């Protein structure tokens, strides 16, 4: 932006002196042809790898028109998949939200030994393959697992049932809220909370009236990403679900079953729901990001005015 302005001012200054304007460019800029070919490569690459697959979902879903498209959602197994996805995300997201707040409070507001190890451990689920994330619960709760025989003796089923789906979803979305909150709350420090405490506020009052208003956008950001992953997770839930139609099928697993039955229109129709969710997620993420940036500028501006 700023370089563009300098370029034009230099440009007018030189043309005024009668120098050839055509060959002019700043030494820290690429020639026009390089610039435009790089832009073309970027747009081409992103269109080919990102836009085309996204459009393909809707094109395939609407291949036979709107009637078959909407008919795919009337199927009771599709409805139960939607219900189950809402249920698992409805449990996993609040659970990780509470954990994220607790972890960020402990890590950002206090000093203790081993803090960086704790942060690494919280991020750990991101480094683990979805399939392995599901496998660890099978090893723990499956029929051949450590607790499986005992659990089935007490008539509790976790693997191939809803609790297993919830656990696997909680695992893969574990760090989302915490990793947004921890750096922000560390940066904000403890001064405002200390002031509130000195003025006699209780712990809950400090949380509700001081800390949460300060981190609300980052919190929302974490929740948006956490929810998108919770509703769209495939690998981990695939291992623990057992694919029982109408019982343990989430939307992504339902998509897989329809696709493997060559019922492509229905598969893509149900997939288009998830694609819409992804588009909404990206839009919401951008709105929240610009809010965070604006608030950062607002907090920065008074201090620069003083300086």
Partner 1 sequence: MNPISKNRRSPKQYSVLPGFGLTMGYTLLYLGLIVLIPLAALFLKSSQLGWDDFLKAVGNPRVVASYKLTFGASFIAATVNAIFGFIVAWTLVRYQFPGKRLLDAMVDLPFALPTAVSGIALTAIYSENGWIGQYLEPLGIHAAFSPLGITIALTFIGLPFVVRTLQPAIEDLQRENEEAAASLGASRLQAMLRVILPAVMPALLTGFALSFARALGEYGSVVFISGNMPMRTEITSLLIISKLEQYDVAGATAIAVVMLLASFALLLAVNLLQWWSGQRYRGVA
Binders of partner 1 among residues 75 to 94 (CB under 8 A) are none
Total site size for partner 1, rule CB under 8 A: 101
CB of 72 to partner 1, least distance (A): 14
CB of 238 to partner 1, least distance (A): 7
CB of 10 to partner 1, least distance (A): 14
CB nearer to partner 1: give 93 or 167. 167
Dig out the tokens for 14 from the structure: 């030189």
CB nearer to partner 1: give 66 or 127. 127
> Which 1-40 positions form the footprint of partner 1 (CB under 8 A)?
1, 4, 27-31, 34-35, 38-39
CB of 235 to partner 1, least distance (A): 4
Q: Is 51 in the site for partner 1 (CB under 8 A)?
A: yes
Q: Is 52 in the site for partner 1 (CB under 8 A)?
A: yes
Of the chain, the end-to-end C-alpha distance in Å amounts to: 25
DSSP assignment of the chain equals -HHHHHHHHHHHHHHHTT--STT---TTS--HHHHHHHHHHHHHHHIIIIIHHHHHHHHHHTTT-HHHHHHHHHSHHHHHHHHHHHHHHHHHHHHHHHHHHHHHHHHHH---TTHHHHHHHHHHHHHS-HHHHHHHHHHHHSTTSSSHHHHHHTT---TTSHHHHHHHHHHHTTTHHHHHHHHHHHHH-SHHHHHHHHTT--HHHHIIIIIHHHHHHHHHHHHHHHHHHHHH--HHHHHHH---TTTS--HHHHHHHHHHTT-HHHHHHHHHHHHHHHHHHHHHHHHHHHHHHHHHHHHHHHHHHH-
CB nearer to partner 1: give 28 or 303. 28
> Which 180-199 positions form the footprint of partner 1 (CB under 8 A)?
190, 193-194, 197-198
> Which 107-166 positions form the footprint of partner 1 (CB under 8 A)?
107, 109-113, 118, 121-122, 124-125, 127-132, 135-140, 142, 144-146
Calculate ∠ Cα 43-44-47, nearest 5°. Answer: 80
Binding-site member from 13, 14, 19, 50 for partner 1 (CB under 8 A): 50
CB nearer to partner 1: give 71 or 277. 277
CB nearer to partner 1: give 18 or 113. 113
CB nearer to partner 1: give 18 or 174. 174
CB of 228 to partner 1, least distance (A): 5
Q: Is 223 in the site for partner 1 (CB under 8 A)?
A: no
Alpha-carbon dihedral sign for residues 164, 166, 172, 178 = negative
Rounded to whole angstroms, the Cα distance separating 166 from 248 reads 11
> Which 230-289 positions form the footprint of partner 1 (CB under 8 A)?
231-235, 238-239, 251-253, 255-256, 259, 264, 267-268, 271, 274-275, 277-279, 281-283, 285-286
Binding-site member from 14, 156, 203, 297 for partner 1 (CB under 8 A): 203
């Amino acid at each position: 932006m700023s370089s563009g302005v300098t370029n034009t001012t230099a440009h007018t200054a030189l043309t005024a002196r009668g120098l050839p304007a055509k060959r002019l460019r700043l030494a820290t800029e690429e020639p026009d042809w390089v610039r435009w070919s790089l832009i073309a490569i970027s747009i081409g690459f992103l269109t080919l790898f990102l836009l085309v697959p996204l459009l393909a979902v809707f094109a395939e879903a609407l291949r036979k028109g709107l009637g078959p498209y909407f008919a795919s959602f009337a199927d009771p197994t599709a409805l139960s998949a939607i219900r189950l996805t809402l249920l698992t995300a409805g449990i996993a997201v609040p659970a990780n939200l509470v954990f994220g707040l607790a972890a960020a409070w402990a890590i950002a507001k206090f000093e203790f030994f081993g803090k960086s190890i704790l942060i690494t451990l919280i991020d750990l689920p991101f480094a683990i393959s979805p399939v392995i994330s599901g496998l660890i619960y099978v090893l723990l709760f499956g029929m051949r697992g450590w607790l499986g025989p005992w659990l089935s003796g007490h008539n509790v089923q976790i693997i191939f049932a809803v609790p297993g789906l919830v656990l696997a979803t909680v695992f893969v979305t574990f760090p989302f809220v915490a990793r947004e909150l921890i750096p922000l709350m560390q940066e904000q420090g403890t001064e405002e909370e200390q002031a509130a405490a000195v003025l006699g506020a209780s712990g809950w009052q400090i949380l509700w009236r001081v800390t949460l208003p300060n981190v609300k956008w980052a919190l929302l950001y974490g929740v948006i990403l956490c929810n998108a992953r919770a509703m769209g997770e495939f690998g981990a839930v695939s291992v623990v679900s057992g694919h029982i139609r109408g019982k343990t099928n989430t939307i992504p697993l339902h998509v897989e079953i329809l696709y493997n039955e060559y019922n492509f229109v229905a598969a893509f129709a149900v997939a288009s729901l998830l694609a819409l969710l992804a588009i909404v997620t990206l839009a919401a993420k951008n709105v929240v990001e610009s809010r965070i940036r604006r608030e950062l500028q607002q907090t920065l501006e008074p201090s620069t005015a003083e300086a």
